DNA sequence: TTAGGGTTAG
């Protein structure tokens, strides 16, 4: 840095007083017949440019001086200028200078190509390369080839990549470690890892970069073990390790399931000094986020001097996957405020999916508006995240409007829309979309089939679901995987066809993964088959011994069977493994503000506000018959303590808070991360009656509407059945359903859809939901 | 008579 500033300083101090060297100045003036501010030779400009490289202002000034010196035709200087502008990311300027060069040479072309590649503008790089080959008549050399290959790799142009490869061989350029390394990188990106490996094995010369190329190839494709094997070979052969190597090791470690290596890799990075690298730090954050050590990730994030958009996005993912909901909201609000942070499609998708899991509709809408302003709403990833967000926030209408207005839709957008219809109860519409997909030129993929089967199961369309499942291969050429089986097991289970579900699992041609057993387990619950339930819980427990969720499941099954010894054992082994189950929380939106309550949270900023309300609420519902159902507190505690735990379930905290902030006759909308427990369920019914509120609770599985002391939607069912819905007027989160008789009834937007869905589900069997919270 | 190159994250 010091060298930079000295040279630049020297240059500009000369600029400020050109007359010091009057003779040179005079000579230039004489020669060019105009006032020359600079007396420098092209070679001096060249070295200044070298130093100036990524400093935009000085670069522009040097550029201006080169022009006024009449040196803009100098190909050497023009090439350097092109390179400097490209290094600053100013590709338009680089392109302009390039185009003004009268006799471009191979170097000029190569500089522009590599400039685009370095800025990830691969398509542009390929266009330039094409023009070079087809128009200029110049032949690319080894440097050109090594510059363009990554572009082919990133865009996935396998054919062109291969033909450049054969051009390289045909022309007998001989061995070149740069080109060969780039080839390894390109084939790895294509997913042709064995070709890449063969090329790598045949290299006559290798260096750290070539090793990194093959290692990152393996780590990109999830061959974690092979990465570590190659890494030890690399060290054995005496090659040094750098940041790139560390990055691959980190992603390899991440791909090896259940490996908790965060601390080891972190200390290795500190020992080797690589922890000062921005990318390594970010990758370390990623490990901690993945291991759910959010505090550790946050420590690294906090210490970062330069927090870039990747770090911010990763931290957001951390907060929301670690269920630090308030933190997540604070964090993404800050992200939206920071002007220097340029939000890109990944960041926006991340924010939207956090809104999704939070049920934060207002925030989600703001992000949607932002994506429209910034043009990212046309991005397919962002677009499908917007659809997902609206559908998950129970606002299917807005999802539909957005979907319809999209100019271009890829398979992920269709999938999101199909899933959205399914989860909101529009099974027929989901099927309709599914059938329309092909007509618009989009082929269903594996996920599409998951979405549609899921939609069928959620809306009780058993026959349609089975029909689709049975024709997957012949109609769409998709072989059912474990997730598809899980959907069908769920479909049969919800319909009460436990034995069909069970025999389907037993007849599976592949090993059932955990989601299949999960589906079978809930089928057992619906069917009341505790014995089989325990058997399956134990299987799940073996499959995912490190997931606290399955301990809860198993413990709940034991509790249902009255096996308290089993409950105790599960708890002990949960603690001995140092695992924590996901804490329960509920959030509620009041006047566009989202408030989140954790179960048992007495240090909540709003606790004083709700403490009195909570007691009053319990008192009032006790008057109309509420009896706390302590058998759902699966711990051996005194009855008083059990009751205290029940009263402080996050859902009750949120409801109490909502009661204090709303008037009778309003709708209170609550999102819960886990499933609502039976005690909260029966309390909610009474609350809706006593306090004259409509409670709409969306939990991990379904929507519940509590009104007038009942949790059913018969009233609404009646509204929908007996009236033609003449118009749906969007207003905030509410929709007005217009009855044919001219009478208005306000219901929640989600309701129309969710009604159909949960009438079917709830009428089958009152749900059994248990949670350890 | 200079200049241009390969492998990294959310």
Mean predicted confidence (pLDDT) in A574-595: 74
Domain count, chain A: 4
HSE-up of residue A277 (Cα within 13 Å, Cβ side):
17
Q: Which of A38-47, A681-690, A757-766 has the highest mean pLDDT?
A: A681-690
Question: Smallest Cα–C1' distance to nucleotide B7: which residue has it?
Answer: A213
Which nucleotides on strand B sit less than 7 A from a protein beta carbon?
2-10
Q: Which residue has the higher pLDDT, A460 or A639?
A: A460
User: How far is it, in rounded angstroms, from Cα A522 to Cα A524?
Assistant: 5
Quick one: which H or E segment has residue A705? strand A703-706
In degrees rounded to 5, what are phi and psi of residue A88?
-80, -5
User: Is 60 exceeded by the pLDDT of residue A753?
Assistant: no
CA angle A261, A265, A268 (to 5 degrees): 145
Let me know whether A608 and A753 are in one domain.
Answer: yes
Let me know whether A553 and A599 are in one domain.
Answer: no
| Contact assessment for residue A307 and residue A281, using Cβ atoms and an 8 Å cutoff | no
Rounded to whole angstroms, the distance from the CA of residue A425 to the C1' of nucleotide B7 is 49
Mean predicted confidence (pLDDT) in A588-606: 78
Rounded to whole angstroms, the distance from the CA of residue A83 to the C1' of nucleotide B2 is 14
User: Is 90 exceeded by the pLDDT of residue A721?
Assistant: no
Let me know whether A649 and A742 are in one domain.
Answer: yes
Helix crossing, A749-764 with A714-722: angle to 10°?
A: 120
Looking at residue A137, what is its pLDDT?
87
CA angle A389, A390, A393 (to 5 degrees): 85
Let me know whether A700 and A607 are in one domain.
Answer: yes
Per the prediction, chain A carries an average pLDDT of 80
User: Is 80 exceeded by the pLDDT of residue A713?
Assistant: no
Let me know whether A604 and A573 are in one domain.
Answer: no
Rounded to whole angstroms, the distance from the CA of residue A75 to the C1' of nucleotide B3 is 9
Q: Which nucleotide has the shortest C1'-to-CA distance from A312?
A: B10
**Residue A684 resides in a domain:** yes
Alpha carbon separation from A377 to A191, A351, A352, A367 (Å, rounded): 30, 13, 12, 10
Rounded to whole angstroms, the distance from the CA of residue A85 to the C1' of nucleotide B3 is 14
What does the pLDDT look like over A169-219, one tens digit per residue?
Answer: 988 888 899 999 999 999 999 999 999 999 999 999 999 999 999 999 999
**Residue A613 resides in a domain:** yes
Q: Which nucleotide has the shortest C1'-to-CA distance from A115?
A: B4
Let me know whether A560 and A644 are in one domain.
Answer: no
User: How far is it, in rounded angstroms, from Cα A305 to Cα A650?
Assistant: 37
Q: Which nucleotide has the shortest C1'-to-CA distance from A251?
A: B9
Q: Which of A150-154, A160-164, A347-351, A435-439 has the highest mean pLDDT?
A: A150-154
- Categorize the per-residue pLDDT at A297 as very low, low, confident or very high, splitting at 50, 70 and 90: very high
What does the pLDDT look like over A81-98, one tens digit per residue?
Answer: 999 999 999 999 999 999
| Contact assessment for residue A294 and residue A319, using Cβ atoms and an 8 Å cutoff | yes
User: Is 70 exceeded by the pLDDT of residue A739?
Assistant: no
Q: Which nucleotide has the shortest C1'-to-CA distance from A109?
A: B4
Mean predicted confidence (pLDDT) in A339-346: 90
Residue holding tokens 């908790």?
A260
User: Is 50 exceeded by the pLDDT of residue A758?
Assistant: no
**Residue A546 resides in a domain:** yes
Per-position DSSP letters for A349-367, written without gaps between them: HHHHHHHHHHT-HHHHHHH
Let me know whether A555 and A589 are in one domain.
Answer: no
Per-position DSSP letters for A4-20, written without gaps between them: HHHHHHHHHHHHH-GGG
Report the side by side order of strands in the sheet with A734-738: A728-731, A734-738, A744-748
Let me know whether A546 and A641 are in one domain.
Answer: no
Torsion over CA: A114, A116, A121, A127 (sign): negative
Q: Which nucleotide has the shortest C1'-to-CA distance from A278?
A: B9
User: Is 50 exceeded by the pLDDT of residue A723?
Assistant: no
Residues paired with residue A694 on neighbouring β-strands, in sequence order: A667
Token pair listed for A237: 């052969």
Looking at residue A349, what is its pLDDT?
93
Rounded to whole angstroms, the distance from the CA of residue A146 to the C1' of nucleotide B6 is 6
Let me know whether A632 and A547 are in one domain.
Answer: no
User: How far is it, in rounded angstroms, from Cα A579 to Cα A154?
Assistant: 40
Looking at residue A703, what is its pLDDT?
63
User: How far is it, in rounded angstroms, from Cα A701 to Cα A426?
Assistant: 16
Task: Please name the residue ranges forming H helices in A237-306.
Answer: 243-255, 262-272, 278-290, 294-303
Helix/strand/coil for A742: coil
Helix crossing, A56-68 with A2-16: angle to 10°?
A: 40
Report the side by side order of strands in the sheet with A694-698: A593-598, A585-590, A667-672, A694-698, A703-706
Q: Which nucleotide has the shortest C1'-to-CA distance from A49?
A: B3
Looking at residue A702, what is its pLDDT?
62
Rounded to whole angstroms, the distance from the CA of residue A226 to the C1' of nucleotide B4 is 34
In degrees rounded to 5, what are phi and psi of residue A621?
-75, -25
Looking at residue A431, what is its pLDDT?
94
Task: Please name the residue ranges forming H helices in A325-471.
Answer: 325-337, 345-358, 361-374, 380-392, 396-405, 411-423, 427-439, 446-458, 462-470
Question: Smallest Cα–C1' distance to nucleotide B10: which residue has it?
Answer: A310
**For residue A566, what are the domain limits?**
480-580
Q: Which residue has the higher pLDDT, A145 or A542?
A: A145
Range from A22-26, A299-303, A659-663 carrying the lowest mean pLDDT: A22-26
Let me know whether A13 and A98 are in one domain.
Answer: yes
**Residue A279 resides in a domain:** no
- Categorize the per-residue pLDDT at A604 as very low, low, confident or very high, splitting at 50, 70 and 90: confident
Question: Smallest Cα–C1' distance to nucleotide B1: which residue has it?
Answer: A76
End position of a domain, from candidates A516, A548, A580:
A580
Residue holding tokens 């109309």?
A624
- Find how far residue A664's CA is from the centre of its chain: 39
Mean predicted confidence (pLDDT) in A438-454: 91
Question: Smallest Cα–C1' distance to nucleotide B5: which residue has it?
Answer: A143
End position of a domain, from candidates A580, A599, A630:
A580
Q: Which nucleotide has the shortest C1'-to-CA distance from A244?
A: B8
Give A565: exposed, middle or buried? Use CB within 10 Å, 0-12, 13-18, 19+. Answer: exposed
Indicate the DSSP class of residue A376: G
Rounded to whole angstroms, the distance from the CA of residue A270 to the C1' of nucleotide B9 is 18
Mean predicted confidence (pLDDT) in A137-161: 95
**Residue A188 resides in a domain:** no
Rounded to whole angstroms, the distance from the CA of residue A52 to the C1' of nucleotide B3 is 15
User: Is 90 exceeded by the pLDDT of residue A640?
Assistant: no
Question: Smallest Cα–C1' distance to nucleotide B8: which residue has it?
Answer: A244
Nearest by Cα to A233 from A269, A197, A195: A197
Looking at residue A96, what is its pLDDT?
95
Residue holding tokens 């951390």?
A318
User: Is 80 exceeded by the pLDDT of residue A419?
Assistant: yes
Alpha carbon separation from A666 to A207, A306, A680 (Å, rounded): 69, 46, 20
Q: Which nucleotide has the shortest C1'-to-CA distance from A118?
A: B5
Give A731: exposed, middle or buried? Use CB within 10 Å, 0-12, 13-18, 19+. Answer: exposed
User: Is 80 exceeded by the pLDDT of residue A760?
Assistant: no
Share of chain A above pLDDT 70, in %: 84
User: Is 90 exceeded by the pLDDT of residue A37?
Assistant: no
- Categorize the per-residue pLDDT at A4 as very low, low, confident or very high, splitting at 50, 70 and 90: very low
User: Is 60 exceeded by the pLDDT of residue A30?
Assistant: no
HSE-up of residue A281 (Cα within 13 Å, Cβ side):
20
User: Is 50 exceeded by the pLDDT of residue A224?
Assistant: yes
User: Is 80 exceeded by the pLDDT of residue A504?
Assistant: yes
**Residue A619 resides in a domain:** yes
Range from A4-8, A94-98, A128-132, A482-486 carrying the lowest mean pLDDT: A4-8
Let me know whether A552 and A591 are in one domain.
Answer: no
Task: Give percent helix, percent strand, percent coil of chain A, each to the nearest 5.
Answer: 65, 5, 25
Rounded to whole angstroms, the distance from the CA of residue A390 to the C1' of nucleotide B7 is 40
| Contact assessment for residue A115 and residue A86, using Cβ atoms and an 8 Å cutoff | yes
Looking at residue A568, what is its pLDDT?
80
End position of a domain, from candidates A555, A580, A605:
A580
Looking at residue A39, what is its pLDDT?
61
Residue holding tokens 């109490």?
A656
User: Is 90 exceeded by the pLDDT of residue A358?
Assistant: no
Let me know whether A39 and A99 are in one domain.
Answer: yes
User: Is 50 exceeded by the pLDDT of residue A410?
Assistant: yes
Looking at residue A304, what is its pLDDT?
93
In degrees rounded to 5, what are phi and psi of residue A405?
-85, -5
Per-position DSSP letters for A518-585, written without gaps between them: HHHHHHHHHHT-HHHHHHHHHHHHHH-TT-HHHHHHHHHHHHHTT-HHHHHHHHHHHHHTT--PPPPE
Q: Which residue has the higher pLDDT, A646 or A28?
A: A646
User: Is 80 exceeded by the pLDDT of residue A584?
Assistant: no
What does the pLDDT look like over A126-148, one tens digit per residue?
Answer: 999 999 999 998 999 999 999 99
User: Is 90 exceeded by the pLDDT of residue A765?
Assistant: no
Kindly provide the residue ranges of all beta strands, DSSP E only, lying in A578-639, ordered along the sequence.
Answer: 585-590, 593-598
Nearest by Cα to A257 from A585, A540, A544: A544
- Categorize the per-residue pLDDT at A359 as very low, low, confident or very high, splitting at 50, 70 and 90: confident
Mean predicted confidence (pLDDT) in A592-600: 78
| Contact assessment for residue A520 and residue A537, using Cβ atoms and an 8 Å cutoff | no
**Residue A40 resides in a domain:** yes
**Residue A19 resides in a domain:** yes
Q: Which of A49-63, A375-389, A732-746 has the highest mean pLDDT?
A: A375-389
- Categorize the per-residue pLDDT at A759 as very low, low, confident or very high, splitting at 50, 70 and 90: very low
- Find how far residue A430's CA is from the centre of its chain: 24
Interstrand relation of A667-672 and A694-698 (parallel, antiparallel or unpaired): parallel
Long-range pairs, A342-346, Cβ under 8 A, ≥24: A342/A309, A343/A309, A343/A370, A343/A374, A343/A376, A344/A309, A344/A376, A345/A376, A345/A379, A345/A381, A345/A382, A346/A309, A346/A310, A346/A313, A346/A381
- Categorize the per-residue pLDDT at A355 as very low, low, confident or very high, splitting at 50, 70 and 90: confident
Rounded to whole angstroms, the distance from the CA of residue A115 to the C1' of nucleotide B5 is 11
């Amino acid at each position: 840095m010091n060298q930079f500033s000295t040279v630049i300083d020297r240059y500009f101090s000369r600029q400020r007083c050109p007359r010091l060297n009057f003779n040179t100045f005079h000579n230039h003036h004489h020669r060019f017949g105009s006032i020359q501010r600079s007396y420098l030779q092209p070679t001096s400009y060249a070295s200044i440019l070298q130093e100036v490289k990524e400093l935009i202002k000085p670069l522009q000034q040097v550029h201006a001086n080169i022009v006024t010196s009449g040196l803009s035709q100098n190909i050497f200087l023009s090439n350097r200028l092109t390179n400097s502008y490209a290094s600053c990311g100013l590709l338009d300027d680089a392109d302009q200078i390039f185009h003004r060069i009268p006799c471009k040479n191979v170097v000029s072309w190569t500089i522009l190509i590599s400039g685009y590649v370095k800025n990830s503008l691969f398509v542009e790089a390929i266009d330039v390369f094409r023009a070079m080959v087809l128009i200029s008549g110049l032949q690319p050399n080894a440097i050109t080839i090594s510059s363009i290959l990554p572009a082919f790799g990133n865009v996935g142009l396998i054919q062109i990549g291969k033909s450049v490869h054969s051009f390289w061989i045909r022309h007998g350029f001989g061995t070149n470690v740069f080109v060969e390394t780039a080839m390894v990188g390109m084939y790895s990106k294509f997913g042709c890892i064995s070709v890449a490996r063969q090329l790598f094995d045949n290299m006559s010369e290798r260096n750290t970069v070539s090793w990194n190329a093959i290692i990152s190839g393996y780590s990109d494709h999830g061959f974690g073990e092979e990465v570590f094997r190659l890494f030890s070979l690399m060290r054995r052969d005496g090659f040094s390790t750098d940041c790139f190597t560390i990055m691959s090791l980190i992603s390899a470690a991440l791909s090896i399931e259940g490996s908790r290596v965060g601390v080891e890799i972190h200390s290795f990075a500190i020992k080797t000094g690589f922890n000062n690298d921005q990318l390594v730090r970010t990758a370390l954050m990623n490990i901690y986020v993945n291991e759910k050590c959010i505090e550790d990730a946050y420590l690294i994030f906090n210490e970062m001097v330069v927090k870039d958009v990747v770090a911010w996005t990763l931290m957001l993912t951390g907060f929301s996957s670690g269920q630090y909901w308030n933190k997540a909201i604070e964090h993404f609000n800050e992200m939206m405020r920071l002007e220097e942070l340029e939000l890109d499609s990944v960041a926006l998708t991340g924010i939207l999916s956090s809104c999704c899991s939070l049920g934060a509709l207002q925030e989600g809408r703001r992000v949607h508006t932002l994506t429209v302003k910034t043009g990212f709403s046309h991005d397919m990833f962002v677009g499908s995240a917007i659809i997902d967000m609206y559908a998950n926030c129970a606002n299917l209408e807005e999802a539909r409007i957005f979907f319809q207005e999209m100019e271009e839709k890829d398979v992920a957008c269709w999938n999101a829309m199909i899933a959205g219809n399914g989860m909101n109860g529009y099974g027929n519409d989901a099927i309709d979309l599914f059938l329309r997909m092909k007509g618009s030129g989009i082929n269903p993929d594996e996920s599409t089939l998951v979405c549609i089967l899921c939609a069928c199961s959620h809306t009780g369309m058993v026959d349609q679901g089975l029909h689709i499942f049975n024709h997957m291969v012949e109609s769409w050429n998709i072989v059912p995987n474990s997730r598809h089986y899980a959907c069908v097991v769920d479909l049969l289970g919800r319909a009460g066809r436990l034995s069909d579900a069970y025999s389907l699992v037993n007849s599976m041609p592949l090993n059932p993964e955990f989601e299949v057993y999960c589906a079978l387990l809930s089928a057992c619950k619906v069917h009341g088959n505790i014995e089989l339930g325990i058997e399956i819980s134990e299987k799940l427990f073996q499959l995912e011994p490190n997931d606290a969720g399955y301990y809860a499941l198993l413990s709940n099954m034991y509790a249902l069977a009255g096996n308290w010894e089993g409950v105790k054992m599960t708890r002990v082994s949960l603690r001995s493994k140092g695992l924590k189950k996901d804490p329960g929380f509920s959030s509620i939106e009041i006047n566009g503000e989202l408030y989140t309550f954790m179960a048992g949270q007495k240090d909540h900023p709003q606790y004083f506000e709700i403490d009195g309300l909570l007691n009053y609420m319990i008192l009032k519902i006790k008057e109309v018959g509420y009896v706390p159902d302590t058998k759902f507190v699966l711990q051996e505690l005194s009855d008083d303590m059990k009751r205290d735990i029940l009263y402080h379930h996050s859902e009750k905290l949120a409801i109490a808070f909502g009661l204090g902030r709303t008037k009778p006759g309003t709708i209170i909308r609550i999102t819960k991360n886990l499933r609502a427990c039976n005690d909260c369920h029966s309390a909610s019914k009474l609350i809706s009656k006593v306090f004259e509120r409509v409670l709409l609770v969306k939990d991990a599985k379904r929507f519940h509407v509590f009104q007038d002391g009942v949790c059913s939607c018969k009233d609404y069912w009646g509204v929908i059945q007996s009236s033609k819905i003449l118009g749906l007027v969007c207003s905030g989160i509410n929709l007005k359903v217009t009855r044919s008789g001219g009478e208005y009834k306000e219901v929640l937007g989600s309701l129309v859809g969710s009604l159909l869905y949960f009438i079917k589900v709830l009428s089958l069997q009152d749900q059994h939901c248990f949670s350890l919270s």
